[in-house]
Chains A and B, each alone.
Chain A
Amino acid sequence: MKFKNFANKNQYTVMLLVMLAAVLVFFSITRGSLLWTGDAWYGMAMQFPEYGLMTLGVMFCFITGNIDMSFVALGNFATIFAVRYMAANAAEGASDGHVRAVIVTGILITLLICLIGGFINGVLVTKLGIPPVMATIAMQLVWQGLSTALTQGNTVTGLPAMYTEIGHSKMFGFLPFPLFIFIIAFILCALIVRYTVYGEMIYMIGTNVKAVRYSGINTDRVVILTFVITALVSGVGSLIMVSTMASAKADYGSSYVMRVILILVLAGILPDGGMGKIPDLLLALVIIQIIASGVNMFASLNTYYASLIWGALLLIVLIASTKLSGGIFKIRDDKKKKQVSSQ
């Protein structure tokens, strides 16, 4: 009875759970001996945190009814600076303490640039009234263009060894460092969304920004802050990507933009705003990563099979959800009206 109640209230979560189970069962049957090994799960734990963090960041944007397409390009731009700085200042033979200080500064540089980038996005959207898709696509082109111009399209290397070592270390002897960072960020974001005034406001803004403004709340400030948070959290993802790649480049992770949006949509967090639950996000992330890793276990399949399955999965979810009560993916009339009137 209790379960039935839960299932009714959380139809979407249940659907994702069923999907996760289906994916697990499928790969257990076909590649059980490979799937249920420590190596397989370690591999997954190393892979997903970088785009997992980006997804987590962009989630804030989606909840407020905005969208960010610039996060990967911004992250690349920021890390190019940071890697250059670190490469220049942590010369071989420098003391550990010095290298550590350089790394911390490098991370701070990345985050500072991300903060500025997020702020610009926010200002373009709120103060100038540019539709968020457009503003952030344009900024994506700008950041990527700048990165290309500064690096002449080359890979930026010379990271201190310590940086990549940290990236591959294990916390408490078993927890991969990227996963550790992801878990901390996830808990932090979940707490922010659930238990802060800011978290309450972003859901309300995503549903009807005008009503929130008319309640005496500075919505522009909240939205700008949201773009900043998005940029910062996904910037952490970029930092992890840099440690995996041991370098930075203008076009690293370019497929992540679409993947992140796909995960969010799969999790029922739509750019329409005001929707979505954080646990669903985790489920969607895990599903996507298991598919990616599962596909890898078939020697005959290339990685694009994962893309095939992801696409199919998203479409199935889209169509299935039209049968659920609420039909969250349907074109929303009120939203459309709002857009027209704000044009």
Chain B
Amino acid sequence: MNKTAWKRLTKRTEFYIFIVLIALIAGIQIVSGGQLLEPTTLVTILRGMVVDGMFALICLIVMISGGFDLSFPAISAFAYSAATTICVNQGWCETNPLAGFLLAILFGAILGAFNGWIIANFKLNTMIVTLGTQTFFTGLTMGLFQMKEITSTLPASFRALGESYFFEVYNSQGQRSTLTTSIVFLIIMIAVTSFVLRKTMFGRALYAIGGNEVSAERAGYNVKRIKFILYVAVGALAGFIGMVRVCLARQSIPKAMVGKEMAIIPAVILGGASIFGGEGSVFGTICAIGLITVVSNSMLLVGIDSYWQNFFNGLVILIGITISAVQAKRQRR
């Protein structure tokens, strides 16, 4: 029994990602002369994972259901831009950021519902639909509503939330780094997503639909409704994550999300999710995001110019997907 469990474990992509992550950390730790595992670097990496990690999780749940969402950055951008604009105009959120977050969630949910309505009702290819809605939503944000960049006028409570921290650490040169409180959001989201995916029938329905949609319908799932709920939830979360990002960056820039999907989706797939649906786990996704964040944050530590960051990100992903593709090919034989 133990042996079969081990065998099953070694078949999973998550397992390899985890090992690579550990190996990479060890390697960089040695090359950089112990700088990676210094507290300052660690808290920076954790901070870097907050927003991308949460985006990756919503991307993951869509992908498990067999969908491919290109529109979540556009939804997010609309939601946080609209929410901050309203807050600034109304003078809200000077002391409590709650209203802003609720607005962003609301806007996100509305746009998500639009996605969900089209995808569930017309049984269309999700990648193409979300390409259309992405373009449309971007047009809404920057065309129809002409939302502006908000930097210095950002409500104080957003700024405060972004700047709040659990503890501060100093490195040998006396540089200060802090562990942002927003890490809580990521932790909660990891917990909730894994609970939903593993322990609720809704989560199991997503796996079932991703595995075989026709069978899921025959088994008695209301596939239409589940898909609709999924896209509403994803939209709402995209709005929420966007707000977290606004707080952390201490500015709201409508354009900031453009192309985000191209950074997140590959990472999710690196973490073991299948673009054909039905496969993927929270653990693998977070490991993959961790891997990429570590790579981009440790460039300087190992003496590589930070302009190479994108290249190494791409390389890590290319190698990752190549290995899993070759492995899958071998297994088929």
Direct contact of A and B (CB under 8 A): yes
Contact surface of A with B, Cβ cutoff 8 Å: 69, 124, 128-131, 133-135, 137-146, 148-149, 152-153, 254-255, 258, 261-262, 265, 270-272, 301-312, 314-315, 318-319, 322, 329-331, 333, 336, 339-340, 343
Of B11-19, B160-168, B199-207, B310-318, which stretch is located at the interface? B310-318
Residues B247-278 near A (CB distance < 8 A):
258-259, 262-263, 265-266, 269, 274-276
Q: Give the number of residues in B that approach A within 8 Å (Cβ atoms).
A: 54
Whether the Cβ atoms of B311 and A148 lie closer than 8 Å is yes
Chain A hits for B34, CB < 8 A: none
B132 near A: Cβ within 8 Å?
A: yes
Contact surface of B with A, Cβ cutoff 8 Å: 68, 70, 118, 122-125, 127-129, 131-144, 146, 214, 258-259, 262-263, 265-266, 269, 274-276, 305, 307-315, 317-318, 321-322, 325-326, 328-329
19 contacts between A and B (CB under 8 A): A124-B318, A128-B329, A138-B314, A142-B314, A145-B312, A145-B314, A152-B307, A258-B131, A303-B143, A304-B138, A304-B143, A310-B135, A310-B136, A310-B139, A314-B136, A315-B132, A318-B132, A330-B123, A343-B328
Chain A hits for B133, CB < 8 A: 311, 315
Query: 7 smallest A-B Cβ distances: which pairs?
Result: A308-B139, A311-B136, A145-B311, A141-B314, A145-B310, A304-B143, A311-B135
Q: Considering the complex, give the chain B residue whose CB is closest to the CB of A67.
A: B127
Q: A142-B318, A318-B132 are in contact. Are A301 and B143 (CB under 8 A)?
A: yes
Q: A306-B139, A318-B118 are in contact. Are A134 and B266 (CB under 8 A)?
A: yes
Q: Assuming A130-B325, A265-B132, A318-B132, what are 4 further A-B pairs, CB within 8 angstroms?
A: A134-B275, A258-B70, A270-B128, A308-B138
Q: A144-B310, A258-B135, A318-B122 are in contact. Are A129 and B143 (CB under 8 A)?
A: no
Q: Considering the complex, give the chain B residue whose CB is closest to the CB of A150.
A: B307
Whether the Cβ atoms of A331 and B318 lie closer than 8 Å is no
Q: A128-B322, A307-B143 are in contact. Are A141 and B317 (CB under 8 A)?
A: yes
Looking at the complex, which one of B124, B143, B266 makes contact with A138 (CB distance below 8 Å)?
B266
Looking at the complex, which one of B124, B128, B312, B321 makes contact with A135 (CB distance below 8 Å)?
B321
Whether the Cβ atoms of B129 and A315 lie closer than 8 Å is yes
Whether the Cβ atoms of B122 and A319 lie closer than 8 Å is yes
Whether the Cβ atoms of A318 and B128 lie closer than 8 Å is yes
Whether the Cβ atoms of B125 and A331 lie closer than 8 Å is yes
Chain B hits for A329, CB < 8 A: 124-125, 128
Whether the Cβ atoms of A308 and B314 lie closer than 8 Å is no
Chain A hits for B142, CB < 8 A: 302, 304, 307
